[in-house]
Amino acid sequence: MRLDRQPGSRRSGTLAVLALLVGSVLVQGEARAAPLSQRDARATITISGRVGCSAGPFVGLWVVSTGGGAGWAHWTKTGPAEQVVNAASSYSRTFTTSLPTTVTLHIGCTGSPHKWGMPLSTESVTVNASASLNTWCSVGNGSCTAFSPPPATWPADWAGPSFCGTHPGPSGAPFTGNVLAGVATCGTGWEGPNGNYQGGITYNGVTFDSLGYQCVEYASRYFYFVTGNSAPTPGAGWASNWAWTTSQKFRQYGVSAGGGSGGSNTFASTIVPGDIISMWDEASNQGKIGHVGVVQSVAMSAGNGTITIADENAAPNGQDVVNVRGGLMTSGSYTQFQWIYGLPDPRL
Cα gap 252→187, rounded to integer Å: 31
Position 165 scores a pLDDT of 93
Within this chain, do residues 19 and 112 fall inside the same structural domain, yes or no?
A: no
| Of 144, 109, 343, the residue nearest 246 (C-alpha) | 343
Among 146, 173, 204, identify where a domain stops.
146
Same domain, 90 and 228: no
Whether 153 is covered by a domain: the verdict is no
Judgement on whether residues 165 and 280 belong to the same structural domain of the protein: yes
User: What pLDDT score was predicted for residue 266?
Assistant: 95
- Determine, yes or no, domain membership for 325: yes
The residue among 89, 116, 146 that closes a domain is 146
Q: How much is the pTM?
A: 0.62
152: in domain: no
Q: Are residues 182 and 241 in the same domain?
A: yes
Tell me, yes or no, whether 88 and 142 share the same domain: yes
Residue 95 resides in a domain? yes
Pair (123, 170) in one structural domain:
no
For the chain, list residues with pLDDT below 50. 1-39, 79-87, 148-150, 236-237
pLDDT at 29: 34
> Residue 110: its pLDDT value, please?
78
Same domain, 56 and 101: yes
- Whether 29 is in a domain gets the answer yes
Q: Are residues 306 and 182 in the same domain?
A: yes
Residues 192, 297, single domain; the answer is yes
CATH number at residue 226: 3.90.1720
Query: Which tens digits make up the pLDDT trace of 60-94?
Result: 999 999 999 999 999 886 533 334 444 468 899 99
Helix, strand, coil % in the chain, rounded to nearest 5: 10, 40, 45
Long-range contacts from 166-174, C-beta under 8 angstroms, 24+ separation: 167/201, 167/202, 167/203, 168/198, 168/199, 168/200, 168/201, 168/202, 168/212, 169/199, 172/198, 173/198, 173/212, 173/213
Residue 347 lies in a domain: no
Residue 74 to residue 231: CA distance in whole angstroms = 33
Same domain membership, residue 140 and residue 172:
no
For residues 11 and 91, state if they share a domain: no
For 291-332, what is each residue's pLDDT tens digit? 999 999 999 999 999 999 999 999 999 999 999 999 999 999
Asked whether the bond before 168 is cis by omega within 30 degrees of 0, the reply is yes
| CATH code of the domain in which 98 resides | 2.60.40
One domain, residues 301 and 221: yes
Residue 321 CA to residue 262 CA, distance in Å, equals 21
How far is 162 from 173, CA to CA, in rounded Å? 10
Give domain status of residue 2, yes or no: yes
Number of domains in the chain: 3
Terminal-residue alpha carbon distance, the chain? 57
348 found inside a domain: no
Residue 80 structural domain: 41-146
